[in-house]
Every structure is written in C-alpha cells, then in structure tokens.
Homo-oligomer: A and B are copies of this chain.
C-alpha cells in the first residue's frame, strides 16, 4: 500500500473489509502500489469493531451506520447486496465515487458496469450520474473478456455456457462449509453434512442452483450472465444462455463455453487473438496437462483458456474452457483495475 501526501491521491474506504473479497482488495491495493492518502475500513454493525490488518497494521473496522464519507474520494463496497442497497447511494451523495461489487446497481441505467479490459471507455464520460461504478458478476467478467474479440472478428450468434463455480463465491463461510462437509463425508459416508451456504451440501456433490429462482425458471445467477454481458459489451440482443452450477472446488470458477459465430472460425486465428488479449493465458498444448484447471491454472490474475476447438461438423461453432480466480478476477482485481483506470486518467 502506497501512502502519499500528494493531494491528487485518493482517500479510500472499504466497506466489507472483513470478507474474502475485502481482504483481497486490501492485499491488491497494497501489492499493486495504488497511491492513496489513507484507507478506512467499514462494515455493517455485525462486523464493526473487528480489526483487520492493513499493510501490517491492525485497523479497526468502523460501523457503516454513521460513517462519514465526506472525506472519502473512493469507496469500495463488497459487503453484500443489501448493504450496498442501503449505504452506497448515501456514500456517493457525500461525494465518494463508489465501486460496488454487488448486484445492487449493475443494471441501473445511471451506473456503468465495467470490465476495464473490455469497456473502460464508458468511464471517460466522467462521474456517473449515480456516483457508482458497478463491478460485474464473477462469472460474467472472464466470459466477456473473451467474447469481445469473438464478436468483433466473427460476430456472435449464440453463447451457451455451463459453469463450474467454486465455494469461495460464498466467501470464507462457503469455503469452511465445503471443507467441513468433505472431512465429515470422508470419515462417515452416512454423516449429515452442513448445508447452510449450499443446499444440498456441496461436499462430493454438484449443485445446479446459485442465487434465487426467477419466474422464468432460470436462477438470478444465470440471468445476470445474460443481462450483464449485454450491457458490458453494448450488445442488447446478445444471446447468452447459461446453467450455473456450484462444484466442490475451493477457489476459481470454470466455464465450458460453446459459441456459435456468424462466420466460420479459423482455429489458429482464434487461438492467436485470445492469446493476444491482455492478462489472458491460452493453454494449447496437446498433452493432458495442456488445459487449465482451478488448482493448476497458474497466474491468478490471468484468465486461463484451453480446450479451444472448432466443431468438425460446424465451422462456425467452437468450444472454450476458461478458468478464472473468482475472488480476484471476478471481484477484487476488477474493482482495483477500475480504480486504477479512473485514477490514471484523473477521472476522480
């Protein structure tokens, strides 16, 4: 973390500092050397009063109720949708630019939804009317980072995605529940497993249900991937359909992505274009190790892509397999990269 006295450097607040994404935000602000004039921590009453280490020093988490944002330039929110719904607009009204990690404002027309590698230019219009910039869903971010180049070169007719989402999408409690359930199941196959964050229990299971069910029969998580992709890519009729599934992986989401383009796709050109994208690693060796998995992908700040193959019977259709760290790329890193873009261009 780089404290500077430069009055152009922002005063930062982090709401939700005690969670998995909040912890990673603090780590990334430090490791990436984001210049600032101080970081304050906030949370809802339940977590206020705890201490969190910031750059090696224990710092007390303040209560969002009564928190004064008038001296804050940049506020990261990652304490859940209901917390953002309650406190993000007041923070923005007090003058802070809010970067919100939740679902609260993503589809708000006054709030840009930003993946810096894809559509950062929407930020050049200046401070959003809502005072908020929204961070997309963890599964949407890596997907749109790959879709943009496909759309520009070949056009997209349809995208069909099945996800393999990690326990860390439910934060540290989700990880703990998976670990506890797995240990129990190993010691006693008939044990009743904890099923609070995941229903039914996730240990040695796959659960095709994330977030709540909508009238359409799709889950909110599945609808997010459609609506957010359309907004980020500026393609209001983009056809993305998804089944979102939780898998017993600790961290990093995977996605099996089928894309039908409007033009025939040359595989070598596709591989070359994906490999040329910023912070994307293509795994394209013919060995069994030549594809990414959550535990072996490597560089956590890259989107990892493998199993790239055009259908023999349909030269417009191809598969991708992507793996991305959902806490970093899918949340905290994307938020910090939004902040870097804003600060680098003096847009605060």
Does B200 lie within 8 Å of A286, measured CB to CB? no
A309 at the binding interface (Cβ < 8 Å): yes
Within the assembled complex, what's the spacing in Å between the Cα atoms of A293 and B193?
14
A250 at the binding interface (Cβ < 8 Å): yes
Partner of A248, one of B204, B209, B216, B308: B204
Copies in the complex: 2
Partner of A239, one of B199, B307, B309, B314: B314
Does B309 lie within 8 Å of A218, measured CB to CB? yes
Does A213 lie within 8 Å of B288, measured CB to CB? yes
* Binding stretch for chain B, among A64-72, A124-132, A178-186, A272-280: A178-186
A258 at the binding interface (Cβ < 8 Å): yes
Q: Mark A178-211, 1 if CB is under 8 A from B, else 0.
A: 0100110010000000000001110011111100
Does B205 lie within 8 Å of A293, measured CB to CB? yes
Does B208 lie within 8 Å of A308, measured CB to CB? no
User: Interface centre among A267, A294, A295, by most B CB within 10 Å?
Assistant: A295
Tell whether A289 pairs with B208 under 8 Å between CB atoms, given A217-B309, A309-B218.
no
23 A/B residue pairs, CB under 8 Å, sorted by A: A162-B162, A162-B256, A164-B164, A182-B186, A200-B295, A204-B249, A204-B250, A204-B295, A205-B294, A206-B249, A206-B254, A206-B294, A208-B293, A208-B306, A216-B309, A216-B312, A217-B308, A217-B310, A218-B312, A241-B311, A241-B317, A243-B258, A247-B248
A residues near B, CB below 8 A?
Answer: 160, 162, 164, 179, 182-183, 186, 199-201, 204-209, 213, 216-218, 239, 241, 243, 245, 247-250, 254, 256, 258, 267, 286, 288-289, 291, 293-296, 306-314, 317, 319, 321
